[in-house]
Structure 1
Amino acid sequence: MTTIEDVRRAAALLDGVAERTPVESSRALSEIAGARVLLKCENLQRAGSFKIRGAYVRMSGLTDDERARGVVAASAGNHAQGVALAARLLGIDAMVVMPVDAALPKIAATREYGARVELAGTSVDEALQHARAYAERTGAVLIHPFDHPDVVAGQGTIGLEIVEQVPDVATVLVPVGGGGLAAGVVTALAALRPQVRVVGVQAAHAASYPASLAAGHPIPAPELRTMADGIAVGLPGDVPFDVLAHAGIEIRTVSEEDLSRALLLVAERAKLLVEPSGAAAVAALMAAPGQFEGPVVAILSGGNMDPQVLLRVVRHGLASAGRFLWLHVRIADRPGALADLLRDLAATGANVMHVSHVRTQGELAVDEVAIEVQVETKGPDHCSAVMHALRAAGYRLTD
């Protein structure tokens, strides 16, 4: 297993390469959690995530012959950029295999760092199969995103920084995909602060660790259906799994609604842009207030967000937070009836975003029309007030 000495050697290698990312206090999250909450901002790391740490440590240990053969990696985006940047810094040729639906900004950034990109497969696991085939065909060295002791040691440097930045830390929340980040953090904290509780967080629809830990060996996740592509990994790595199983780590899962609400809160209140996987630790904190002893450090693992995904996730987060309300209202089919409805909505302070006027639904009477309206509100209480006001005015509606 990776040791604290390995993590310290990794820290020496990364000096001047990886940023010592800041730890920011969050009053809003502290109020929700009922304990002091701090955010470890790996979204501000070089290449936008923690991945440069493990990739650089792994690649710096290659022999001259291995460096001459080049490297290959598979990733949905963050490991791709970490490998590409590390390869540029070390003067190594790099090929990166990414899923065919990988975010365009992540593909572009990987290429801008100097790596060649091939699109193959519909998931990280399928892309990894193509990367292994490329390595066998060309002799390139596979740089696995999480399943190697050097990668675990590199990610463990985050644990060293947390101990230095928050000496009295009681709980650390870590996003978990393949497990490399969590294994590294556990390794560092087990040696330096064994009393600290480390909790791993997975997306509920891409959760391989709970069943794997129960079975005692890695088993595939039953599905990979989440907006958090950075932690959508189908099978735990053997190396990190051994570390996390030995440590008896607790794994929690979060819903898509939890993830979108967390991303929105971090953007609105902490003024930080994170991707859905980077918000997983905050999602777990918000989903279970009062269950974590403080000080709590939530690791924001990455900030490489596709703008189009950001738009969808923000809309989803607003809806999950009760900031959008969809109403189905039946009104009389007469001139001015729609104007009356919109005027009554305006009186409640709701902002109309979209209106659909439907005359052809089978359950409508001959003198009725259905109005489907989306409004922006100030939160759940305002949603209730809007619906109460409309019903009091005589409207028949469902939300």
Structure 2
Amino acid sequence: MDNASAAADHAATNSAAHGADPQLVTLADIRVAADRIQDLVLRTPIVALPHPDRPSDVLHLKAESLQPTGAFKLRGAYNTISQVLDESRERGIIAQSSGNHARAVAWLAKRLDLRAVIVMPDAAPPTKVAAVRALGAEVVLVPASERDSRTLELAAEHGYVEVPPYDDVRIIAGQGTVGLELIDQLPDVDVVLVPISGGGLISGIATAIKSLRPEVQVIGVEPELAADAAESLREQRRITWDTTLTYRTVADGLRTPAVGVHPWEHIRRYVDDLVTVSEEQILTAVRHIAVEGRLVAEPSGAVATAAWMHDLAPRGATVAAIVSGGSVDPALMARVLAG
């Protein structure tokens, strides 16, 4: 078994140990989370984006890139930390992330006066590592295949409270608040496109939307080079890809080798389809969002828009896409805009 598979199995075992069988989040859980996080989390706007070839065809962008930490991850992290705050103040917190969850946890730790240790892959964008350190968190860089295992080791050694990036019902409930807002802001939506990596975001959004509007289609979007979730849905079993494969994509926030145990159960129950996009399509979407949508989107945050631009969503429908993050490397953004 390779390191990535071992880490994924270790994480699955750890998840099961904390919650026995995988649990499904409810609409009530998401509504409670919305109340819990409202003092620090923005209700992000919806921005209209015209199609590059059909200007009258408009995509509705849910701009999570405008959160204080630049991504949706603040929602789940705050919902989790706020429920273990006393324990976290006493023992400190630890998280593993390629960037956006790391930044959210570090930002919350600074606001709440907590010690934070963040395990990040050594291939993470330097700008994301620097942003986490600037918030006062300690960063531990490890090979990508050791993200889960090293986090669990440090938590056991020092007694830190773990704040998982996606495989936790508290995280899923927090991310589901995006879906609550979207249905309120765009009640006639027909299709919602959501980036997928570890699966926490799409799990929460799909739960909220299917609970309120079961007829709305929820479609996950992955890079072709990191399509473990699409293969899992096709095979109807949770599949792990080695990090040597997933780390080929420019979408650095979507390189997780497998969806989490809890997210997988939500995906199987609520998600209608999973589609994939190419690297060129992702970067084209980054540019189109910037030029026509006036938003900065990192590649991971642009995959849902890429799917719509290349007709992987039903035409003629009212479609929304989640712009999940905007923490893009400035040099990459400059090349994309120039090209």
TM-score for both structures, normalised by structure 1: 0.75
- 1:244/1:29 CA distance change after superposition, 3 Å: farther
Match for residue 167 of structure 1 among 187, 190, 212:
187
- 1:269/1:63 CA distance change after superposition, 3 Å: closer
- 1:266/1:248 CA distance change after superposition, 3 Å: closer
Task: Indicate the RMSD between aligned Cα atoms, in angstroms.
Answer: 1.8
- 1:217/1:113 CA distance change after superposition, 3 Å: same
Residue 282 (structure 2) aligns with: 259
Q: What is the alpha-carbon distance in structure 1 between the residues aligned to residue 255 and residue 332 of structure 2?
A: 15
Verify: 1:31 aligned to 2:54, yes or no: yes
Q: Deviations over 1:263-283 (max 9, x none)?
A: 111111112111000000011
Residue 104 (structure 1) aligns with: 126
CA contact (8 A) 1:35 1:296 kept: no
- Paired residues in the alignment total 313
* 1:91 Cα offset (Å): 2.5
Letter in 2 for 1:254: V
Q: SS in structure 2 opposite 1:198? A: strand
Verify: 1:59 aligned to 2:75, yes or no: no
* 1:92 Cα offset (Å): 2.0
* 1:120 Cα offset (Å): 1.1
* 1:6 Cα offset (Å): 0.5
Q: SS in structure 1 opposite 2:321? A: strand
Q: What is the alpha-carbon distance in structure 2 between the residues aligned to residue 51 and residue 135 of structure 1?
A: 21
* 1:29 Cα offset (Å): 5.4
Q: Deviations over 1:197-235 (max 9, x none)?
A: 111000000111122123333211252110000111101
* 1:128 Cα offset (Å): 2.4
* 1:109 Cα offset (Å): 1.4
CA contact (8 A) 2:94 2:155 kept: yes
Gaps of 5+ in 2: 1-23
5 Å-filtered alignment, 1:1-399, equals: 1-28=24-51, 31=54, 35-62=57-84, 64-121=86-143, 123=144, 125-221=145-241, 223-224=245-246, 225-288=248-311, 291-314=314-337, 318=339
* 1:63 Cα offset (Å): 5.7
CA contact (8 A) 1:171 1:293 kept: no
Give the structure with the larger helix fraction.
2
Q: Which has the higher contact order (CA 8 A, sep 6+)?
A: 2
* 1:86 Cα offset (Å): 1.8
Gaps of 5+ in 1: 319-399
